[in-house]
């Protein structure tokens, strides 16, 4: 296992010293996930730029990105977005996400503007034709593994749990912000939901995902799905057992459940969900240029964040993303969450429930 040595200089700044003999540590961010989260969480601020365009979700996205980078210490940052115009899954399965309301104009405009802002900041933005951000996360993770690197995925979605392995971790952003969110390893995922990453695709397909308009196998919720996967086997083994008498399912659940899962419809639902939920690990990301490699330009970092009205984040970003020794040490979180001072932010953080000891955030 490769370990990454954090270096602290005399001013207490944290980061990763580039070393050509060690693998690259990438931070790949689910741009759609974090921007959507910020859009709803910060809507009351109605923050706008000088041109009157809404920017509150962009401010939240950038603040989360800076805090995550400060915590992870990556050598490169990549942000993935859904193609706003085409989606191959919806083209193949029209019901996919069909229940969702049309995006508000203020959300659409911020999704578009965010890509331009991040590009100006200097991070690598990836928005492949007809693909989703999930496909970018999976492809970056796969590439990191192939090239001997390591990767931390930053997202608020559970879909990325299947990407966790020896070279990929998932920083799952939850209520309380990036600082309060767990970095999930295979062991922590097992502790949290009772299965490992390799079992997660079958778990999700059995359970379904209402947010994507994908019903699960009738009557199978998270608990029954975990029981089946741990006591019977993977999806194929579960349905093979059901079709051959259901001895293992009967022992794990009941005879009634063995009969229900023998219904061909149950297998069809599971297979369909597996197909739709399957992430692409083979996107052609092209050559990874110096874009997104830290340190970024201190001038660009400051200008972008000050233009968005994020002075505290600008100072933190200059230190974390641009390694500016003159930047003041300050929490970026004081900007986006509306705390009047770092002391108020720290007080609010102390009021958050502590994570279980085995889920305390760490890296590799």
Could you tell me the residue ranges of all domains in the chain?
Answer: 24-185+280-347, 197-277
198: three-class secondary structure by DSSP: helix
Residues 6+ apart with CB under 8 A from 227: 252, 253
pLDDT attached to residue 343: 42
Give the span between the Cα atoms of 335 and 62, in whole angstroms.
10
Give the span between the Cα atoms of 29 and 152, in whole angstroms.
8
- Nearest Cα to Cα of residue 25 among 320, 293, 291: 293
**Mean pLDDT along residues 130-142:** 97
Res. 329: pLDDT tops 60: no
312 and 327 Cβ atoms separated by less than 8 Å: no
**Mean pLDDT along residues 118-146:** 96
pLDDT attached to residue 364: 61
- Please tell me the CATH code under which domain 197-277 is placed: 1.10.150.20
Torsion of CA 83, 86, 91, 93, to 10 degrees: 30
Res. 110: pLDDT tops 80: yes
Residue in the block written with tokens 């009351």: 44
Alpha helices per DSSP H over 198-310: 200-207, 222-231, 235-243, 247-252, 255-261, 264-277, 298-307
Residue in the block written with tokens 């932010």: 345
- Nearest Cα to Cα of residue 39 among 104, 131, 130: 104
Residue in the block written with tokens 């939901």: 193
For residues 169 and 5, the model is more confident at: 169
pLDDT-derived band at 1 (thresholds 50, 70, 90) equals very low
Give the span between the Cα atoms of 78 and 63, in whole angstroms.
15
Give the span between the Cα atoms of 279 and 160, in whole angstroms.
9
- Multiple choice CATH, 24-185+280-347, 3.40.50.1010, 3.40.50.920, 3.40.720.10, 1.10.645.10: 3.40.50.1010
Res. 183: pLDDT tops 50: yes
pLDDT attached to residue 323: 77
pLDDT attached to residue 10: 23
For residues 114 and 18, the model is more confident at: 114
The distance from CA 30 to its chain's CA centroid, rounded to whole angstroms, is: 5
The distance from CA 173 to its chain's CA centroid, rounded to whole angstroms, is: 7
Q: DSSP assignment of 315-329, as one string?
A: HHHHHHTS--TTS--
pLDDT attached to residue 269: 98
Residues 192-223 have pLDDT tens digits of: 999 999 999 999 999 999 999 999 999 999 99
pLDDT attached to residue 22: 74
**Mean pLDDT along residues 224-231:** 98
**Mean pLDDT along residues 334-348:** 41
**Mean pLDDT along residues 354-359:** 40
| Mean pLDDT for the chain overall | 87
Within this chain, domains 24-185+280-347 and 197-277 share the same CATH topology? no
pLDDT attached to residue 19: 58
Choice among 158-167, 258-267, 308-317, 341-350 with the minimum mean pLDDT: 341-350
- Packing angle of the helix pair 298-307, 311-320 (nearest 10 deg): 160
pLDDT-derived band at 360 (thresholds 50, 70, 90) equals very low
Residues 270-306 have pLDDT tens digits of: 999 999 999 999 999 877 667 899 999 999 999 999 9
In the beta sheet, which residues pair with residue 184?
170
pLDDT attached to residue 175: 87
pLDDT attached to residue 325: 62
Res. 157: pLDDT tops 70: yes
pLDDT attached to residue 339: 33
Give the span between the Cα atoms of 61 and 178, in whole angstroms.
11
């Amino acid at each position: 296992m490769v370990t990454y040595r954090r270096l602290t200089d005399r001013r207490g700044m944290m980061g990763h010293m580039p070393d050509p003999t060690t693998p690259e540590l990438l931070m790949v961010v689910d741009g759609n996930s974090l921007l959507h989260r910020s859009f709803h969480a910060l809507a009351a601020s109605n923050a706008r730029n000088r041109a009157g365009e809404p920017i509150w979700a962009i401010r939240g996205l950038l603040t989360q990105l800076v805090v995550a980078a400060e915590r992870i210490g990556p050598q490169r940052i990549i942000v993935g977005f859904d193609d706003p115009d085409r989606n191959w899954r919806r083209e193949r399965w029209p019901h996919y996400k069909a229940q969702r309301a049309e995006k508000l104009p203020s959300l659409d405009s911020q999704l578009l503007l965010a890509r331009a802002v991040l590009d100006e900041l200097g991070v690598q933005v990836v928005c492949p034709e007809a693909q989703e951000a999930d496909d970018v996360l999976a492809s970056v993770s796969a590439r990191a593994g192939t090239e001997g690197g390591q990767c931390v995925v930053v997202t608020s979605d559970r879909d990325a749990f299947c990407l966790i392995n020896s070279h990929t971790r998932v920083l799952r952003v939850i209520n309380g912000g990036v600082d309060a969110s767990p970095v999930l390893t295979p062991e922590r995922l097992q502790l949290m939901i009772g299965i490992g990453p390799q079992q997660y695709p079958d778990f999700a397909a059995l359970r379904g995902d209402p947010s994507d308009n994908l019903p699960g196998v009738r009557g199978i919720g998270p608990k029954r799905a975990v029981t089946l996967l741990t006591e019977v086997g993977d999806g194929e083994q579960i349905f093979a057992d059901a079709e051959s008498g259901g001895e293992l399912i009967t022992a794990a659940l009941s005879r009634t459940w063995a009969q229900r899962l023998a219904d061909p419809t149950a297998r069809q639902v599971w297979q369909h969900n597996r197909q739709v939920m399957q992430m692409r690990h083979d996107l052609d990301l092209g050559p990874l240029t110096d874009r997104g490699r830290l340190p970024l330009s201190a001038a660009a970092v400051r200008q972008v964040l000050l233009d968005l009205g994020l002075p505290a984040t600008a100072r933190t970003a200059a230190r974390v993303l641009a390694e500016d020794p003159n930047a003041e040490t300050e929490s970026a979180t004081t900007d986006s969450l509306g705390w009047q001072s770092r002391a108020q932010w720290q007080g609010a953080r102390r009021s958050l429930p502590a994570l279980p000891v085995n889920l305390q955030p760490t890296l590799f």
